[in-house]
Amino acid sequence: SFPTRRSSDLSCLNSYSQREGKGAEMMMKGALFDLDGVLADTASLHFKAWRKLAKENFGRSLPDELENKTRGISRSDSLSVILDYLEITVSKAKFHRLAEEKNQIYRNFLTDLSPDEVLPGMRDFITDLRKKGILTALASASQNGPFILERTGLSKYFNAIVDPSKIEAGKPAPDIYLAATAALELSPKECVGFEDAVSGIQSLKAAGIVSVGIGSDHEVGQADLRFSSTGDINFDDVEEIWAEITNNA
């Protein structure tokens, strides 16, 4: 059977071709990333923007628990969740205006966005993955993804960026992560995904991709492996859980 602790023999691998497995053994070849709350410290700004929108348009406050429910899902899906909570029905045109206004508020919060907003350890972690020959893709629901990658200086670390506007069913459906594996020309089994949202973990699971959650048990307890914060992510632990799941399946 396949050994699960392979950190020592991996440390000498430094190119994609060297990561070809021997015989039928599989190697981890792709890392798929969510953006907000995984790479960039922008997750809470989305909910801050929704709160401002609800206050300004309806004079209403939003409870903390809505943050977890809107994390990871598209702008329009988030707006539906919020309007449901508020028990407010709006016309299609008004819905569109509200979504647009939320994005304006959110973009204003990003005015000073810089490499300082890369979450702790993530630049080094991706650099290390790439040195090991692992391909990287962005699978974020955010249409602001390319802008945020540019402003934080992270664009150059990605082999592929999925355009969420071309994905019919958003997270928790598997589509966006399947599109990311396809963009890297890898199978879901060869990849691992990093997420801070319940919807994102569900999306990875539905796609058959090993999932790493970042956050509390309440937020990402369903993940195959969980780290409390990005600073705790450790390649050997990720590789070990990936090998264990993939080679025992």
Tell me which residues touch Mg ion (CB under 5 A). Answer: 34, 36-37, 196-197
Q: How many angstroms separate the CA atoms of 150 and 110, rounded?
A: 12
Q: Is 202 in the site for ligand BG6 (CB under 6 A)?
A: no
Q: Please give the residues from 83 up to 112 whose contact with ligand BG6 meets the rule CB under 6 A.
A: 103
Helix (H) or strand (E) holding 32: strand 30-33
Catalytic annotation present for 36: yes
Nearer to ligand BG6, 139 or 178 (CB): 139
Please return the burial class of 180, using the count of CB atoms within 10 Å of its CB with bins 0-12, 13-18 and 19+.
buried
Give me the torsion for CA of 233, 139, 200, 177, rounded to 10°: -110
- Geometric angle at alpha carbon 110, from 109 and 113, rounded to 5°: 135
Among 28, 30, 46, 162, binds ligand BG6 (CB under 6 A): 46
Output 13 or 83, the one with its CB closest to ligand BG6.
83
- Is residue 78 a contact residue for ligand BG6 (CB under 6 A)? yes
- Binder of ligand BG6 out of 40, 70, 154, 227 (CB under 6 A): 70
To ligand BG6, the closest distance from the beta carbon of 220 in angstroms equals 13
Q: Minimum distance from CB of 67 to ligand BG6 (Å)? A: 9
Nearer to ligand BG6, 197 or 241 (CB): 197
Instruction: Report what 39 binds from Mg ion, ligand BG6, none; CB cut-off 5-8 Å by kind.
Output: none
Q: Is 196 part of the annotated catalytic residue set?
A: no
Identify what 74 binds: ligand BG6, Mg ion, none; CB under 5 to 8 Å per kind.
ligand BG6
* Phi, psi for residue 4 in degrees, rounded to 5: -95, -25
Q: Specify the 3-state DSSP secondary structure of 208.
A: coil
Alpha-carbon span 224 to 238, nearest angstrom? 9
